[in-house]
Amino acid sequence: MTADTERDTAPPVIQRDDALASISAMAERHNNWGRWGSDDVLGTLNFIDAAKRIQAAGLVRTGEAFSLSQPFDTNGPQKGWRRRTNPVHTMTDTGVDAERGNQGFPHGFGGADDVISMPLQCSTQWDGLGHIFDRGKAWNGRAAGDVVTSEGDLVTGIETAAAQIVTRGVLLDVGRALAAETGRNDGELPDGFAITTEHLERTIERQGPSSAVGRGDIVVIRTGQYSRARREGWGDYAGGSAPGLSFSTAPWLHISEIAGIATDTWGFEVRPNEFDAAFQPLHQIAIPNLGLFLGEMWDPDALAERCAADGRYDFLLSAPPLPITSAVGSPVNPIALR
């Protein structure tokens, strides 16, 4: 075992009463700056290559397609935190206008048009590499102010990923796999449950070989919180307590060489966070230091039912962001093909 491997696999340094020290140590030990050159704008999406896409295409056997997106509508989860609101959908032309002939078209031609106004991260979405900074630094060690200005992300805008995210997807249904440990038979982790590396590995073992995670994969984590929100109402889904990944999973996220990871929760990591006076510390490692793409508020429920039925948990995943120039995130309708 090399010195680098020993360093990467050693237990992570976590000082629960000193978030900054823990974040600093984790960032130093698990960092991809310069790995793909000083000009890189893709981060871990570099792990997706042509061979990976060919492998992923071979996973399509039945032709079944599953949308992993939550709805985009005014009844969504947002409560106004940091000016995040639910989508506002407005019709600019309707069938009523066409029926009454007041649209100005000849020969009875009519139509409908609409417009939507929404934050780019109000529902199912990707966090881009310009979304989170670590102590003033953006992905690849750039100064945050040189990357994102009032004009947007001038370096790693989400449009740079528009043709990249087609690869092998792997569902880790942690909610179902850990039912015995959590004492719940509904396949839903309780709010505040911190998913550790051991939990992820146990889920992979229990689901079987198709759950093995490798370079260039995108991992979709089902905690069951979205299932609960659909049944009981949104409550504090947007920003409140939630199951999610522990800060201690940062080494796994690094060593596994995955291209991205998505969850069915608002914030990807466990909430409340595991440190005193901390806010989303795992984001602070994953995005600016690892260059890892994070998906949030995905809906894996229907896919999870199908995977549980036949024991096959990998699939072709197509989840490109909208090429919104200089955006730091994007809505997405991820499609899993089996």
Q: With cut-offs at 50, 70 and 90, classify the pLDDT of residue 81.
A: confident
Strands 152-153 and 88-93: unpaired
Contacts of 284 (CB under 8 A, 6+ apart): 23, 27, 132, 134
When computed from its CA atoms, the radius of gyration of the chain, rounded to whole angstroms, is: 21
Residue 74 CB coordination number (10 Å): 12
Q: Which two tokens stand for residue 39?
A: 């000009």
Res 2: pLDDT: 43
pLDDT digits (tens, 9 = 90+) for 134-189: 999 999 999 999 999 999 999 999 999 999 999 999 999 999 999 888 878 889 99
Q: With cut-offs at 50, 70 and 90, classify the pLDDT of residue 276.
A: confident
Res 4: pLDDT: 47
Q: What is the mean pLDDT of residues 5-10?
A: 50
Q: Is the pLDDT of residue 304 over 80?
A: yes
Q: What is the mean pLDDT of residues 270-281?
A: 93
d(CA 298, CA 69): 5
Res 11: pLDDT: 55
Residue 275 CB coordination number (10 Å): 19
Q: What is the mean pLDDT of residues 90-98?
A: 96
d(CA 326, CA 155): 8
Res 42: pLDDT: 98
Contacts of 12 (CB under 8 A, 6+ apart): 25, 26, 29, 247, 248, 250, 251
pLDDT digits (tens, 9 = 90+) for 225-239: 999 999 999 999 999
- Report residue 116 CA to chain centroid gap: 23
Res 1: pLDDT: 37
SS3 of the chain: CCHHHHHHHCCCCCCCCCHHHHHHHHHHHCCCCCCCCCCCCCHHHHHCCHHHHHHHHCCCCCCCEEECECCCCCCCCCCCHHHCCCCEEEEEECHHHHHCCCCCCCCCCCCCEEEEECCCCCCCEEECCCCCCECCECHHHCEHHHHEECCEECCCCHHHHCCCCEEEEEEECHHHHCHHHHCCCCCCCCCCCEECHHHHHHHHHHHCHHHCCCCCCEEEECCCHHHHHHHHCCCCCCCCCECEECHHHHHHHHHCCCCEEEECCCCCECECCCCCCCCCHHHHHHHHHHCCEEEECECCHHHHHHHHHHCCCEEEEECCCCCCCCCCEEECCCEEEC
Q: Is the pLDDT of residue 12 over 70?
A: no
pLDDT digits (tens, 9 = 90+) for 200-222: 999 999 999 999 999 999 999 99
Phi, then psi, of 224 in degrees rounded to 5: 95, -5
pLDDT digits (tens, 9 = 90+) for 118-135: 999 999 999 999 999 999
Contact yes or no for 151/326 (Cβ under 8 A): yes
Q: With cut-offs at 50, 70 and 90, classify the pLDDT of residue 116.
A: very high
> For the whole model, what pTM was predicted?
0.94
Res 9: pLDDT: 52
Strands 148-149 and 260-263: unpaired
pLDDT digits (tens, 9 = 90+) for 24-80: 999 999 999 999 999 999 999 999 999 999 999 999 999 999 999 999 999 999 999
Q: Which two tokens stand for residue 270?
A: 């466990």
- Domains of the chain plus CATH, in order, are 27-80+119-337 (3.50.30.50), 90-117 (no CATH)
d(CA 274, CA 251): 16
Q: Give strand pairing partners of 293.
A: 260
Residue 263 CB coordination number (10 Å): 28
Res 324: pLDDT: 98
Average pLDDT across the chain, whole number = 94
Q: With cut-offs at 50, 70 and 90, classify the pLDDT of residue 8.
A: low
Res 118: pLDDT: 96
Q: What is the mean pLDDT of residues 77-99?
A: 94
- Tokens 């009981």 belong to 232
Q: With cut-offs at 50, 70 and 90, classify the pLDDT of residue 5.
A: very low
Q: Which two tokens stand for residue 218?
A: 């995108």
Q: Is the pLDDT of residue 10 over 70?
A: no
Q: Which two tokens stand for residue 41?
A: 């704008």
Residue 241 CB coordination number (10 Å): 16
Can you say whether the dihedral through the CA atoms of 333, 163, 122, 230 is positive or negative? positive
Q: Is the pLDDT of residue 195 over 80?
A: yes
Q: Is the pLDDT of residue 6 over 70?
A: no
